[in-house]
Amino acid sequence: MCIKKKGFNIAIDGLSGAGKSSIGYQVAKRLNFTFIDSGLFYRYIADRFYLDDTIQLNEIRLFKNEMIGSPSYYLQEIEFHLQEKTSQEKLQIGQKASEISKIPEIRNIINEIIQTIVKNDGYVVVGRDATTKILPNAKVKLVLEADFETRVYRRTKQLNIEEFGAIGKVFSDLLKHDVDAFDLILEAKKVATIINTSDLSIEQVVARILLRISWIEFGDNNMLHIIIFILFVFVYTLRVHFSEKIESN
Ligand SMILES: Nc1ncnc2c1ncn2[C@@H]1O[C@H](COP(=O)(O)OP(=O)(O)OP(=O)(O)O)[C@@H](O)[C@H]1O
Ligand SMILES: Nc1ccn([C@H]2C[C@H](O)[C@@H](COP(=O)(O)O)O2)c(=O)n1
């Protein structure tokens, strides 16, 4: 699908396991946009700078400048760094990420890095504050929703978890994330379009989003034509109405 990148960024919010990353990635691929998963920033910073129960805030501040200096290098580095982790390590990093995400200065640093990278157009940014804090001016703002059980099922499948104890861990982690994200998602729902993905496949959700984007793009490019067409129909109807009246008199 071909969308003019100018003035076009897409922000996708939602609770953990709602499908932000998988769907955001597919949407970006279809539009030839750049995909940014803000959750990976939290995970990367937690894994690198939260060691021995100490959060190295100074190092994180320095990292911000480094990343702003070479964004494309770090976007790749973050992805590779986390890809190499085992499921167990991913769960642990996720917990540390969740802890650092409660620190306002770290949230500001991550938002600032992403906003600097996204100074141009043609980005899909996902994360639980993407529509409200990271990209409040995005052209398209979406919140993906899914039932709690659906999200637990998706996450256990994603991490290849089968043991009962580990499923319980996924369950309690998701519940904790839901509580942490409650206010942000409530805010997001006020400004974004909500899509419930519980009964939809990834492809179906992507198709819905692309359709929505086409409508927005169509509206933008053709608004003047639509207004002229409505005016034309209006004037034509008036003419017919009055000529009938004149004839009957
Ligand atoms: N509509 C869907 N149907 C089936 N599976 C889905 C759907 N959406 C996502 N999934 C699967 O659910 C899992 C979790 O999705 P994903 O990682 O995209 O969620 P997320 O919202 O980004 O979560 P987090 O915020 O925790 O990173 C993935 O394995 C993904 O393939
Ligand atoms: N914009 C964001 C992105 C992520 N977080 C938190 C949520 C999780 O606790 C952690 C890791 O995110 P995930 O990879 O699971 O999406 O970081 C956040 O608070 N804001």
How far apart (Å, rounded) are the C-alpha atoms in residues 49 and 109? 13
Q: Is the pLDDT of residue 191 over 80?
A: yes
Say what the pLDDT of residue 224 is.
73
Q: What residue's CA is closest to ligand 2, atom 13?
A: 39
* Candidate from 69-83, 145-159, 215-229 with smallest mean pLDDT: 215-229
Looking at residue 2, its pLDDT comes to 72
pLDDT tier at 87 (50, 70, 90 boundaries)?
Answer: confident
pLDDT tens-place string over residues 46-66:
999 999 999 999 999 999 999
Residue 35 CA to residue 27 CA, distance in Å, equals 9
Domains recognised in the chain with CATH numbers: 9-224 (3.40.50.300)
pLDDT, the chain, mean: 92
Q: What is the pLDDT of residue 105?
A: 97
* Per-residue DSSP letter, 101: T
Give ipTM to 2 decimals.
0.97
Residue minimizing CA distance to atom 19 of ligand 2? 101
CA-nearest of 183, 180, 194, 212 to 12 is 194
- What residues form DSSP beta bridges with 13? 143
CB-defined site of ligand 1, < 6 Å: 14, 16-23, 39, 154-155, 158, 197, 200-202, 205
Tokens (6 digits) for 230: 């409505």
> Cα separation of 42 and 106, whole Å?
9
- What local confidence, expressed as pLDDT, does residue 144 receive? 98
Instruction: Report the nearest-CA residue for atom 15 of ligand 2.
Output: 39
Summarised one tens digit per residue, pLDDT across range 100-140 is: 999 999 999 999 999 999 988 899 999 999 999 999 999 99
